[in-house]
A = this chain, B = another copy of it.
Amino acid sequence: MAPTAKQSFERTRLQDVARSAGVSLATVDRVVNRRSGVREKTIRRVEEAMDQLGYRLDPMARRLARNQNFRFLFILPTGTNSFMMQLREQVERTAEWATSQRGFIDMIEVDVFDAEALAQTLDQLDEAYHGVATVALDHPRVRVAIDDLTQRGIPVITLVSDVPYSRRLHYVGVDNPAAGRTAASLMGRFLARQDGTIGLLVGSLSLRDHAERHFGFNQVLAHDYAHLKMLPVVEGRDDYELSKALVTEMVENNPDLIGLYSAGAGNRGIAQALTESGKAGQVVWIGHELTPHTRRFLFQGTMDAVINQDSGHEVRSAARLLLAHCWGEPVLEDQERIRIDIFIKDNIP
Protein backbone atom coordinates (compact mmCIF):
# COMPACT_ATOMS: atom_id res chain seq x y z
CA MET A 1 0.00 0.00 0.00
CA ALA A 2 2.70 2.42 0.92
CA PRO A 3 6.32 2.64 -0.06
CA THR A 4 8.95 2.01 2.54
CA ALA A 5 10.34 4.77 4.63
CA LYS A 6 13.67 5.27 2.91
CA GLN A 7 12.11 5.71 -0.50
CA SER A 8 9.74 8.53 0.11
CA PHE A 9 11.63 10.36 2.77
CA GLU A 10 14.49 11.90 0.91
CA ARG A 11 13.88 15.60 0.97
CA THR A 12 16.02 17.38 -1.54
CA ARG A 13 18.44 19.74 0.11
CA LEU A 14 20.21 22.82 -1.07
CA GLN A 15 23.22 20.63 -1.64
CA ASP A 16 21.33 18.46 -4.13
CA VAL A 17 20.21 21.46 -6.09
CA ALA A 18 23.76 22.83 -6.11
CA ARG A 19 25.20 19.61 -7.45
CA SER A 20 22.47 19.22 -10.03
CA ALA A 21 22.94 22.79 -11.27
CA GLY A 22 26.69 22.57 -11.15
CA VAL A 23 27.12 25.52 -8.81
CA SER A 24 28.05 26.01 -5.20
CA LEU A 25 25.88 26.01 -2.12
CA ALA A 26 26.26 29.76 -1.73
CA THR A 27 24.99 30.45 -5.20
CA VAL A 28 21.88 28.40 -4.73
CA ASP A 29 21.34 30.17 -1.45
CA ARG A 30 21.55 33.47 -3.25
CA VAL A 31 18.97 32.40 -5.76
CA VAL A 32 16.62 30.94 -3.18
CA ASN A 33 16.74 34.12 -1.13
CA ARG A 34 16.61 36.39 -4.13
CA ARG A 35 19.87 38.05 -3.24
CA SER A 36 21.71 40.01 -5.90
CA GLY A 37 24.99 39.14 -7.49
CA VAL A 38 24.05 36.17 -9.61
CA ARG A 39 24.03 36.10 -13.38
CA GLU A 40 20.59 35.79 -15.02
CA LYS A 41 21.77 32.67 -16.73
CA THR A 42 22.90 31.04 -13.52
CA ILE A 43 19.67 31.98 -11.82
CA ARG A 44 17.71 30.20 -14.48
CA ARG A 45 19.92 27.15 -14.29
CA VAL A 46 19.46 26.95 -10.54
CA GLU A 47 15.74 27.53 -10.72
CA GLU A 48 15.37 24.77 -13.24
CA ALA A 49 17.24 22.39 -11.02
CA MET A 50 15.10 23.51 -8.11
CA ASP A 51 11.74 22.75 -9.53
CA GLN A 52 13.00 19.68 -11.26
CA LEU A 53 14.03 18.28 -7.92
CA GLY A 54 11.02 19.84 -6.19
CA TYR A 55 13.14 21.71 -3.71
CA ARG A 56 11.53 23.07 -0.53
CA LEU A 57 13.54 25.14 1.86
CA ASP A 58 13.75 23.72 5.36
CA PRO A 59 12.50 26.44 7.70
CA MET A 60 13.98 24.72 10.74
CA ALA A 61 17.49 24.76 9.39
CA ARG A 62 17.03 28.25 8.02
CA ARG A 63 16.02 29.67 11.37
CA LEU A 64 18.82 27.93 13.13
CA ALA A 65 21.42 29.16 10.73
CA ARG A 66 20.17 32.72 10.76
CA ASN A 67 20.55 32.70 14.47
CA GLN A 68 18.27 35.63 15.03
CA ASN A 69 16.02 36.59 17.89
CA PHE A 70 13.07 38.93 17.86
CA ARG A 71 11.53 41.09 20.51
CA PHE A 72 7.89 42.07 20.49
CA LEU A 73 5.87 44.40 22.63
CA PHE A 74 2.23 43.72 23.44
CA ILE A 75 0.35 46.80 24.56
CA LEU A 76 -2.84 46.05 26.48
CA PRO A 77 -5.34 48.27 28.26
CA THR A 78 -5.08 48.89 31.96
CA GLY A 79 -8.08 47.91 33.97
CA THR A 80 -9.52 44.88 35.53
CA ASN A 81 -12.34 43.75 33.34
CA SER A 82 -12.35 40.01 32.86
CA PHE A 83 -11.74 39.98 29.16
CA MET A 84 -8.64 42.13 29.39
CA MET A 85 -7.36 40.02 32.23
CA GLN A 86 -7.83 36.95 30.07
CA LEU A 87 -5.98 38.66 27.28
CA ARG A 88 -3.06 39.44 29.56
CA GLU A 89 -2.91 35.88 30.77
CA GLN A 90 -2.88 34.63 27.21
CA VAL A 91 0.00 36.94 26.42
CA GLU A 92 1.96 35.39 29.24
CA ARG A 93 1.28 31.88 28.03
CA THR A 94 2.05 32.75 24.47
CA ALA A 95 5.28 34.41 25.53
CA GLU A 96 6.47 31.09 26.84
CA TRP A 97 5.75 29.39 23.56
CA ALA A 98 7.25 32.22 21.55
CA THR A 99 10.53 31.81 23.37
CA SER A 100 10.96 28.44 21.72
CA GLN A 101 10.48 30.19 18.40
CA ARG A 102 13.12 32.77 19.22
CA GLY A 103 10.50 35.41 19.92
CA PHE A 104 10.59 37.39 23.16
CA ILE A 105 7.38 39.05 24.19
CA ASP A 106 7.12 41.93 26.62
CA MET A 107 3.82 43.38 27.77
CA ILE A 108 2.85 46.79 29.08
CA GLU A 109 -0.43 48.42 29.94
CA VAL A 110 -1.76 51.78 28.87
CA ASP A 111 -5.05 53.53 29.33
CA VAL A 112 -7.16 52.73 26.31
CA PHE A 113 -9.21 55.84 26.58
CA ASP A 114 -6.13 58.02 26.34
CA ALA A 115 -5.06 58.41 22.73
CA GLU A 116 -2.11 60.58 23.68
CA ALA A 117 -0.70 58.01 26.08
CA LEU A 118 -0.95 55.22 23.55
CA ALA A 119 0.54 57.33 20.80
CA GLN A 120 3.45 58.33 23.00
CA THR A 121 4.14 54.75 23.94
CA LEU A 122 4.31 53.91 20.28
CA ASP A 123 6.43 56.94 19.45
CA GLN A 124 8.95 56.21 22.13
CA LEU A 125 9.15 52.52 21.41
CA ASP A 126 12.53 51.06 22.26
CA GLU A 127 14.33 50.44 19.03
CA ALA A 128 15.19 46.97 20.21
CA TYR A 129 11.67 45.83 19.33
CA HIS A 130 11.00 44.08 16.08
CA GLY A 131 7.24 44.36 16.26
CA VAL A 132 4.24 45.55 18.25
CA ALA A 133 0.79 44.21 18.92
CA THR A 134 -1.61 46.66 20.45
CA VAL A 135 -5.20 46.93 21.53
CA ALA A 136 -5.62 50.15 19.66
CA LEU A 137 -7.73 53.24 19.86
CA ASP A 138 -8.94 54.62 16.58
CA HIS A 139 -7.75 58.20 16.84
CA PRO A 140 -5.75 60.30 14.37
CA ARG A 141 -2.87 60.67 16.78
CA VAL A 142 -2.65 56.92 17.18
CA ARG A 143 -2.98 56.30 13.49
CA VAL A 144 -0.02 58.55 12.80
CA ALA A 145 2.04 56.80 15.46
CA ILE A 146 1.26 53.43 13.89
CA ASP A 147 2.16 54.69 10.46
CA ASP A 148 5.43 56.11 11.71
CA LEU A 149 6.44 52.85 13.30
CA THR A 150 5.54 50.98 10.16
CA GLN A 151 7.60 53.47 8.21
CA ARG A 152 10.53 52.75 10.47
CA GLY A 153 10.17 49.10 9.54
CA ILE A 154 8.51 48.01 12.74
CA PRO A 155 5.34 46.08 11.99
CA VAL A 156 2.27 46.87 14.06
CA ILE A 157 -0.63 44.54 14.65
CA THR A 158 -3.89 45.88 15.97
CA LEU A 159 -5.45 43.49 18.42
CA VAL A 160 -9.15 43.27 19.30
CA SER A 161 -9.74 46.88 18.31
CA ASP A 162 -8.60 48.08 14.90
CA VAL A 163 -7.33 51.30 13.39
CA PRO A 164 -8.50 51.08 9.81
CA TYR A 165 -6.70 53.19 7.22
CA SER A 166 -3.54 52.93 9.27
CA ARG A 167 -0.65 51.00 7.80
CA ARG A 168 -0.78 48.24 10.40
CA LEU A 169 0.47 44.90 9.18
CA HIS A 170 -2.68 43.11 10.24
CA TYR A 171 -5.82 43.38 12.34
CA VAL A 172 -6.38 40.45 14.66
CA GLY A 173 -9.91 40.54 15.97
CA VAL A 174 -13.49 40.06 14.96
CA ASP A 175 -15.66 41.88 12.49
CA ASN A 176 -17.48 44.02 15.03
CA PRO A 177 -20.38 45.27 12.93
CA ALA A 178 -21.09 41.64 12.11
CA ALA A 179 -20.87 40.78 15.80
CA GLY A 180 -23.50 43.43 16.51
CA ARG A 181 -25.72 42.10 13.75
CA THR A 182 -25.35 38.62 15.15
CA ALA A 183 -26.47 39.80 18.55
CA ALA A 184 -29.45 41.56 17.01
CA SER A 185 -30.57 38.54 15.03
CA LEU A 186 -30.42 36.35 18.08
CA MET A 187 -32.29 38.96 20.08
CA GLY A 188 -34.98 39.22 17.45
CA ARG A 189 -35.42 35.49 17.18
CA PHE A 190 -35.39 34.83 20.89
CA LEU A 191 -38.10 37.48 21.22
CA ALA A 192 -40.25 36.03 18.47
CA ARG A 193 -43.89 37.08 18.82
CA GLN A 194 -43.21 39.50 21.62
CA ASP A 195 -43.51 43.25 21.71
CA GLY A 196 -41.57 45.57 23.93
CA THR A 197 -38.49 47.64 24.43
CA ILE A 198 -34.82 46.84 23.98
CA GLY A 199 -32.06 48.46 26.00
CA LEU A 200 -28.57 49.14 24.71
CA LEU A 201 -25.43 49.55 26.74
CA VAL A 202 -21.91 50.14 25.47
CA GLY A 203 -18.65 50.95 27.22
CA SER A 204 -18.04 54.05 25.19
CA LEU A 205 -19.11 55.07 21.75
CA SER A 206 -15.67 56.50 21.18
CA LEU A 207 -14.26 52.98 21.21
CA ARG A 208 -14.39 51.78 17.67
CA ASP A 209 -15.35 48.21 18.49
CA HIS A 210 -18.25 49.24 20.68
CA ALA A 211 -19.47 51.80 18.18
CA GLU A 212 -19.34 49.23 15.42
CA ARG A 213 -21.23 46.63 17.40
CA HIS A 214 -23.84 49.22 18.21
CA PHE A 215 -24.10 50.11 14.58
CA GLY A 216 -24.52 46.51 13.48
CA PHE A 217 -27.08 45.81 16.16
CA ASN A 218 -29.14 48.83 15.25
CA GLN A 219 -29.05 48.03 11.62
CA VAL A 220 -30.54 44.58 11.93
CA LEU A 221 -32.99 45.39 14.68
CA ALA A 222 -34.37 48.39 12.86
CA HIS A 223 -34.61 46.56 9.60
CA ASP A 224 -35.71 43.06 10.53
CA TYR A 225 -37.44 43.59 13.83
CA ALA A 226 -38.95 47.03 13.49
CA HIS A 227 -41.76 46.27 15.92
CA LEU A 228 -39.28 46.30 18.79
CA LYS A 229 -38.65 49.70 20.27
CA MET A 230 -35.06 50.66 20.99
CA LEU A 231 -34.00 52.86 23.85
CA PRO A 232 -31.22 55.38 23.31
CA VAL A 233 -27.82 53.83 23.91
CA VAL A 234 -26.15 54.46 27.29
CA GLU A 235 -22.44 54.39 28.09
CA GLY A 236 -21.25 52.38 31.09
CA ARG A 237 -17.55 52.99 30.58
CA ASP A 238 -16.97 49.26 31.02
CA ASP A 239 -17.48 49.93 34.66
CA TYR A 240 -19.19 47.55 37.03
CA GLU A 241 -20.87 50.11 39.28
CA LEU A 242 -21.90 52.52 36.59
CA SER A 243 -23.31 49.75 34.42
CA LYS A 244 -25.32 48.48 37.33
CA ALA A 245 -26.76 51.92 38.03
CA LEU A 246 -27.63 52.49 34.39
CA VAL A 247 -29.39 49.18 33.98
CA THR A 248 -31.26 49.58 37.23
CA GLU A 249 -32.53 52.90 36.02
CA MET A 250 -33.36 51.46 32.63
CA VAL A 251 -35.44 48.71 34.16
CA GLU A 252 -37.28 51.09 36.42
CA ASN A 253 -38.14 53.52 33.68
CA ASN A 254 -39.19 50.89 31.20
CA PRO A 255 -41.58 48.31 32.56
CA ASP A 256 -41.89 46.81 29.09
CA LEU A 257 -38.15 46.15 28.77
CA ILE A 258 -37.81 42.69 27.22
CA GLY A 259 -34.30 42.75 25.83
CA LEU A 260 -30.87 44.08 26.68
CA TYR A 261 -27.75 44.16 24.57
CA SER A 262 -24.49 45.05 26.21
CA ALA A 263 -21.74 45.63 23.69
CA GLY A 264 -19.01 46.29 26.25
CA ALA A 265 -17.85 45.02 29.61
CA GLY A 266 -19.35 45.52 33.06
CA ASN A 267 -21.46 42.40 32.83
CA ARG A 268 -21.26 41.72 36.53
CA GLY A 269 -23.00 45.00 37.24
CA ILE A 270 -25.69 44.23 34.71
CA ALA A 271 -26.35 40.82 36.22
CA GLN A 272 -26.78 42.38 39.63
CA ALA A 273 -29.10 45.05 38.36
CA LEU A 274 -31.27 42.48 36.62
CA THR A 275 -31.31 40.14 39.57
CA GLU A 276 -32.10 42.79 42.12
CA SER A 277 -34.94 44.18 40.06
CA GLY A 278 -36.35 40.69 39.61
CA LYS A 279 -35.86 40.81 35.87
CA ALA A 280 -33.17 38.16 35.62
CA GLY A 281 -34.30 35.46 33.24
CA GLN A 282 -37.19 37.62 32.07
CA VAL A 283 -35.27 40.07 29.98
CA VAL A 284 -33.37 38.51 27.08
CA TRP A 285 -29.81 39.60 27.72
CA ILE A 286 -27.07 39.23 25.16
CA GLY A 287 -23.53 40.39 25.78
CA HIS A 288 -19.92 39.92 24.80
CA GLU A 289 -16.94 37.81 25.80
CA LEU A 290 -16.98 34.51 27.58
CA THR A 291 -15.44 34.97 31.02
CA PRO A 292 -15.94 33.14 34.29
CA HIS A 293 -18.76 35.58 34.98
CA THR A 294 -20.68 35.43 31.73
CA ARG A 295 -20.21 31.68 31.78
CA ARG A 296 -22.02 31.59 35.10
CA PHE A 297 -24.74 33.92 33.89
CA LEU A 298 -25.36 31.66 30.93
CA PHE A 299 -25.67 28.60 33.13
CA GLN A 300 -28.00 30.41 35.48
CA GLY A 301 -30.17 31.56 32.63
CA THR A 302 -29.59 35.20 33.45
CA MET A 303 -27.80 35.67 30.19
CA ASP A 304 -29.16 34.23 26.98
CA ALA A 305 -26.20 34.34 24.63
CA VAL A 306 -22.63 35.49 24.59
CA ILE A 307 -20.90 36.75 21.49
CA ASN A 308 -17.24 35.88 21.92
CA GLN A 309 -13.83 36.37 20.45
CA ASP A 310 -11.28 33.76 21.47
CA SER A 311 -8.59 35.66 23.35
CA GLY A 312 -6.16 32.74 23.24
CA HIS A 313 -6.54 32.46 19.51
CA GLU A 314 -6.11 36.20 19.11
CA VAL A 315 -2.90 36.45 21.06
CA ARG A 316 -1.37 33.36 19.48
CA SER A 317 -2.36 34.64 16.10
CA ALA A 318 -0.74 38.01 16.71
CA ALA A 319 2.45 36.30 17.86
CA ARG A 320 2.48 33.94 14.89
CA LEU A 321 1.93 36.79 12.44
CA LEU A 322 4.70 38.85 13.96
CA LEU A 323 7.11 35.91 13.95
CA ALA A 324 6.23 34.87 10.42
CA HIS A 325 6.73 38.44 9.28
CA CYS A 326 10.15 38.71 10.90
CA TRP A 327 11.32 35.34 9.64
CA GLY A 328 9.93 36.06 6.20
CA GLU A 329 7.77 32.98 6.31
CA PRO A 330 4.31 32.46 4.85
CA VAL A 331 1.12 32.55 6.89
CA LEU A 332 -1.85 30.17 6.86
CA GLU A 333 -4.48 32.86 6.34
CA ASP A 334 -7.49 30.89 7.39
CA GLN A 335 -5.85 29.75 10.55
CA GLU A 336 -5.58 33.40 11.54
CA ARG A 337 -9.14 34.45 10.93
CA ILE A 338 -10.86 35.28 14.22
CA ARG A 339 -14.35 33.89 14.43
CA ILE A 340 -17.44 35.45 15.93
CA ASP A 341 -18.32 32.74 18.42
CA ILE A 342 -21.85 32.37 19.68
CA PHE A 343 -22.20 30.67 23.03
CA ILE A 344 -25.40 29.58 24.67
CA LYS A 345 -25.52 27.46 27.78
CA ASP A 346 -25.16 24.23 25.79
CA ASN A 347 -21.99 24.81 23.80
CA ILE A 348 -19.80 26.50 26.38
CA PRO A 349 -16.31 25.05 26.05
The chain A residues found within 8 Å of chain B, CB to CB, are: 1-5, 8-9, 11, 56, 58-61, 63-64, 69, 71, 73, 97, 99-102, 104, 106, 108, 124, 126, 128-129, 178-179, 181-182, 184-186, 189-194, 216, 220, 304, 307, 312-313, 316, 332, 334-335, 337, 339-347, 349
Contacts and interface: CB of A to CB of B under 8 A. Distances in A.
Q: Majority SS of interface residues in chain A?
A: mixed
A4 to B, nearest CB: 5
A312 B337 CA distance: 12
Given A5-B71, A193-B192, A341-B341, A56 B335 contact: no
Contact of A339 (B3, B124, B341): B341
Contacts of A73: 2
* Interface-central residue, A8, A108, A184, by most chain B CB under 10 Å: A8
Nearest to A97: B332
15 contacts: A2-B73, A3-B128, A9-B71, A60-B63, A179-B347, A182-B344, A182-B346, A186-B344, A189-B189, A189-B190, A190-B190, A192-B192, A220-B346, A339-B347, A341-B341
A335 B312 contact: yes
Contact of A178 (B101, B104, B332, B347): B347
Given A193-B192, A312-B334, A342 B339 contact: no
A189 B193 CA distance: 11
B345 A185 contact: yes
A224 to B, nearest CB: 10
Given A1-B126, A9-B69, A190-B192, A100 B340 contact: no
A86 to B, nearest CB: 12
Contact of A129 (B2, B216, B307, B335): B2
B339 A349 contact: yes
